Structure 1
Amino acid sequence: MKNSMQIPSDITLACCQHFNSGIGRYSYMLGESLRELKSNVKLYKVYKPNHTDVDYHKHKWIKKIPYRSFRGLHSYILPYFIHQKIKSTPKDQIIHGHWFLSGLAASYTPNPVVVTMHDVSLLHITEADKWFTGYYKWAINRFKERRTPIIVVSNNAKMDTIKYANYPEELIYVSKGFLNFNQFFYDDTVIKDKDKFTIIYTGGLGGRKNVGLLLHAMKVIEKKYPHVFLKIAGAHPEYTNYPAIAKELGLQNIEFSGFIPDEKLNQFYNEADLFVFTSLYEGFGYTPLEAMAAKLPVISTKGGSLTEIVGKGGTLVEYNVMDMIEKITHYIENEKERKQQAELGYEWVKQYTRKNSLEETIKAYNFY
């Protein structure tokens, strides 16, 4: 490994997801940041002509990866489409793959490769079928055999990578995520509805996100406090069982807000009174931090890295309905403490800067 920290003059980034996903957003922000450091960046990303992120392709440094999904085969054939675009990268140039599908495509080039795994949750959290899990494990073993440096997004994720993937510690770099504070900020011009108390959740709606915990707590909360409303933001709630659970519980004060575009997300945070996060496992966890940046008090579960990332900036809750009800009730009834916690979170989130994250990413590049 080199002793001096050098920023690559040229680098190729490869992203296997669209920019409305967490991985996609990470790719774009990293590319922008490296460009500000005068690195010549090419970012190859998946492309569909009618997708909501199509406007990003107006930037010359963002290159298209047209692809076909073939339904259930999407993840197995996407690396082929990525590889076709990145294989002509000059051999001495680093290719940085974002998530394992991009990393797998890069691993079939002669180039030095870095892979951001974020975490290895699929090795120990049951989310995918056995075929996909086996595919995921095989890809990680391939990275290990090639001594590929990987980036994870928390110290907890690093420990999990050592434990569950048996990945060599010297090949693991911790680069915590960072926020775009121009996008997420406290906006005192937003007027809140004083007749309502609004609880929000933002994020994915897969089973691991455990939103049912909040729905069951809301059954008790809305009966006791008729002025309390819950808004759940996340794409395609109609494909989940959460609306059915809400109906079964007889919830009245609930709204499934669907996907919130980036340009409207900060206002969504600022209009709320309390943010609640329920995930069973996170390698990092962006949305609690986004809420803190908007000066919202945060209640979060403890799964994975959440204890580390949310830390003193939020109130941690156990995985049971009664504890969730107790914590939410406390903030409904105590405006002073709600504001105090919001201020604590507002200060806590300031550590998640672009500078701190980039320093660790560049260390991974300097492995070669």
Structure 2
Amino acid sequence: MNIKWLSCVEKGCGIGEYSDQMVVELLHQNQTSTLYRKGTPSTYAIDYPHRSLRGLKDYIAPYYLYKQLKKIDSEDTILHADNIDAFTAIHWSQKKTKIKCVTIHDVIPLIYPQKNQWQRRYYNYQLKSSILHSDQIFTVSHYSKNDLIAKTGVNEKKVKVIYNGINHDQLKPVKNKKENERFTIRYIGGLGAVHKNATALIEVAKILEEKNIDFLMQIGSGNAALTPLPSLVEKYNLKNIEFVGYVKDEDKASFLGQADCFLFTSLYEGFGFPPLEAMACGTPVVSSNAASLNEILHDAAMLTSASPLDLANNIIRLIESKDLQKELVEKGIERASHFTWENSVKTLRENYDSIL
């Protein structure tokens, strides 16, 4: 197979990680593949010229990828878009290929609609186009598949579930883990999107401080200054929260593995990388049970509603029980071990073969 992967995002987000790891694993399995990505060129990823106009970047990105596709003369067996914006570029290009595939990771914009009417219409156009013109749709959990079917009416036979993997070479338990002076709760994930429910992190901290729990909460990822979170910390006069900024890939295992607890407050995830990554690093996870999280995490995490009080109570239970901490560490490592990029690509290739 001659496979081209197409992306309108840069490495550093969940979809960027998905594309990167899938292409690398395809190459490990001696499969010819190339990733066309906006930014971050490498031996397997080709950068295409583009411009980013602030808030419009997600809407003009397919245009620049489309222009790149028009320049490519090679005959491809498979064109696989990592999201509906990249599939829009395939559709516009009218490029001939045996199979056109798209991964639709979730339908969050349908659950939490954009306020801007034009953005909503453009997303709906991209989604409809990708469903109509693709030969195969992949998604990353059964929950996401069921939501996609319910919200769009797509034939369920056209949608296949392939779970994401975890980079186990990078994400593994910390050796000789040091004991923290205070019980340390950490978070990695989005801070601004409504469905990430990041304000619940602050509400949980408020409850813990009111109960005189000795802890430290460190919040990674994103630019917190552009969100309401710091103002909320100031409003509640909280003393035990630190915003640590973006955590680099090479620092992620240490950041996650040295924590006593990973807290995940999301209201919706198509898959949910961060809590699974924390498990792989040997850290107990307290998480909401929203959307796909129960399916992915199972009983290897302390799952509850996204209510700050419920989440805080689970953290207190964890603090008070060393046995529970040990149990969750063991269950988490075992659960995370089931999610590998090798398995993801093996399943992907089986699906390619079935429709060629």
TM-score with structure 2 setting the length: 0.94
CA deviation string 1:136-172 (max 9, x = no partner): 2111211232243111000000000110011111111
Q: Tell whether the 8 Å contact from 2:185 to 2:218 is kept in structure 1 after alignment.
A: yes
CA deviation after TM superposition for structure 1 residue 113, in Å: 1.3
CA deviation after TM superposition for structure 1 residue 196, in Å: 1.0
Secondary structure at the residue paired with 1:351? coil
| 1:286 alignment partner in structure 2 | 273
TM-score with structure 1 setting the length: 0.91
CA deviation after TM superposition for structure 1 residue 91, in Å: 4.1
- Matches of residues 167-178 of structure 1 in structure 2 within 5 Å? 167-178=154-165
CA deviation after TM superposition for structure 1 residue 219, in Å: 1.0
Q: Tell whether the 8 Å contact from 2:198 to 2:266 is kept in structure 1 after alignment.
A: yes
CA deviation after TM superposition for structure 1 residue 76, in Å: 2.2
| Equivalenced residues, count | 350
| 1:204 alignment partner in structure 2 | 190
Aligned pair 1:96/2:80, yes or no? yes
User: Structure 2 CA distance, aligned partners of 1:342 and 1:60?
Assistant: 36
| 1:106 alignment partner in structure 2 | 90
Q: Tell whether the 8 Å contact from 1:123 to 1:165 is kept in structure 2 after alignment.
A: no
- CA distance 1:92–1:11, shift in 2 (3 Å): closer
Aligned pair 1:136/2:128, yes or no? no
- Matches of residues 194-233 of structure 1 in structure 2 within 5 Å? 195-205=181-191, 206-225=193-212, 227-233=214-220
Q: Tell whether the 8 Å contact from 2:7 to 2:38 is kept in structure 1 after alignment.
A: yes
CA deviation after TM superposition for structure 1 residue 222, in Å: 2.4
User: Structure 2 CA distance, aligned partners of 1:346 and 1:304?
Assistant: 22
Aligned pair 1:25/2:8, yes or no? no
- Matches of residues 62-77 of structure 1 in structure 2 within 5 Å? 62-77=45-60
- Residue in structure 2 matching 1:266, options 237, 243, 253: 253
Secondary structure at the residue paired with 1:16? coil
Structure 1 unmatched ranges of 5 or more:
1-7, 48-53
Q: Which moved more, 1:269-278 or 1:127-136?
A: 127-136
| 1:79 alignment partner in structure 2 | 62
| 2:326 alignment partner in structure 1 | 339
Q: Which moved more, 1:183-192 or 1:322-331?
A: 183-192
Task: Determine what percentage of the aligned residue pairs are the same residue.
Answer: 31
- Matches of residues 176-195 of structure 1 in structure 2 within 5 Å? 176-193=163-180, 195=181
Q: Tell whether the 8 Å contact from 2:101 to 2:134 is kept in structure 1 after alignment.
A: no
| 1:254 alignment partner in structure 2 | 241
CA deviation after TM superposition for structure 1 residue 268, in Å: 0.3
- Residue in structure 1 matching 2:105, options 108, 112, 118: 118
CA deviation after TM superposition for structure 1 residue 271, in Å: 1.4
| 1:150 alignment partner in structure 2 | 137
CA deviation string 1:54-74 (max 9, x = no partner): 4xx2x3321012211223332
Structure 2 unmatched ranges of 5 or more:
none
CA deviation string 1:284-319 (max 9, x = no partner): 000000000111111111221011011111011112
Q: Tell whether the 8 Å contact from 1:23 to 1:98 is kept in structure 2 after alignment.
A: yes
CA deviation after TM superposition for structure 1 residue 89, in Å: 4.9
| 1:161 alignment partner in structure 2 | 148
User: Structure 1 CA distance, aligned partners of 2:221 and 2:170?
Assistant: 18
CA deviation string 1:74-115 (max 9, x = no partner): 222211111122232534421111111111111232323111
Superposition CA RMSD, Å: 1.6
| 1:41 alignment partner in structure 2 | 33
CA deviation after TM superposition for structure 1 residue 276, in Å: 0.7
| 1:50 alignment partner in structure 2 | none
User: Structure 2 CA distance, aligned partners of 1:75 and 1:352?
Assistant: 29
